[in-house]
Structure formats: C-alpha cells, structure tokens
Amino acid sequence: MNMNKIISGFWFILAMTLNFGFFYGDPTKIAQHSAYELFAAIVINLIATSYKLGDKTQLGAVLLATSLVADIQLISAAIVWAVSLYGFKDFNVTVAVSIVSLSGGALLANLVSVILFIGDTLKSKR
C-alpha cells in the first residue's frame, strides 16, 4: 500500500463529507447549517489542498485546481456569513441561500476531485 495515497485520500474524502454535512438541509433555514461545520470544512479543505501541492503531473494540476475552487467557495461562504451577520447586521433568507449555494459549488469541486482521485487509483498498477 502507498501510505501517501492513503493519507491524501483520507483528507480528500473527509473534506467532501464535511462539506456535504454543511450543505445538506433546507437552504432557507440557516439553523440547519452549522457555522462550526463550515469552519471545519474550510480547515480540512485547506489541509487537502496542501496535500495536492507539489504533484507535478497533469492530474495533480487538475486536483489542485478543484481544491482551490472548493477553498475559494467555502471561504466566500464564510465571508458572506460574517459580513451579513456582523457587518450589515442583516441576515435574511437570501443570504442563507447564498451561503449554502456557495458550499454547494465547493461540494461539486470536492466531488470532482474525489472522482478523479478514485479514477487515478483504479488506473494505477500495483
């Protein structure tokens, strides 16, 4: 077994599942989406991104791109949440839907990353 593949795969899949945990629920009810889970998804996505740095293959470039997209989407969701709650002090349904939609985009990027990772693993020889 390749220990590097195990560790990196762990972080990729954990990032995707945490993101899904935040995304799942009614987008109009922010109470169904935990700020702590969004924070955890951001941190784990950043860790997963760090595992994709340094891979000089074409697949590595695509994996890094998907991870950067997920990072930007999740950080944007956190910024929208913080600015609307603490800056404008106007947190409404539109803001909640925007936050959940941004995490949905990150979830899609994470899903693409995991699918590519699994495809590369299945393609590689022992």
Q: What pLDDT is recorded for position 65? A: 95
Burial of 106 (0-12, 13-18, 19+ CB in 10 A): buried
Please report, for the chain, the start and end positions of each structural domain, with discontinuous segments joined by +.
Answer: 3-123
Q: Kindly report the pTM of this predicted structure.
A: 0.90
Q: What is the C-alpha separation between 112 and 11, in angstroms, rounded? A: 14
- Find out whether 89 and 35 touch, Cβ atoms under 8 Å: no
Per-residue pLDDT of the chain (126 residues; tens, 9 = 90+): 778 888 988 999 999 999 999 999 998 888 899 999 999 999 999 999 998 888 888 988 999 999 999 999 999 999 999 999 898 888 889 999 999 999 999 999 999 999 999 998 888 776
Contacts of 119 (CB under 8 A, 6+ apart): none
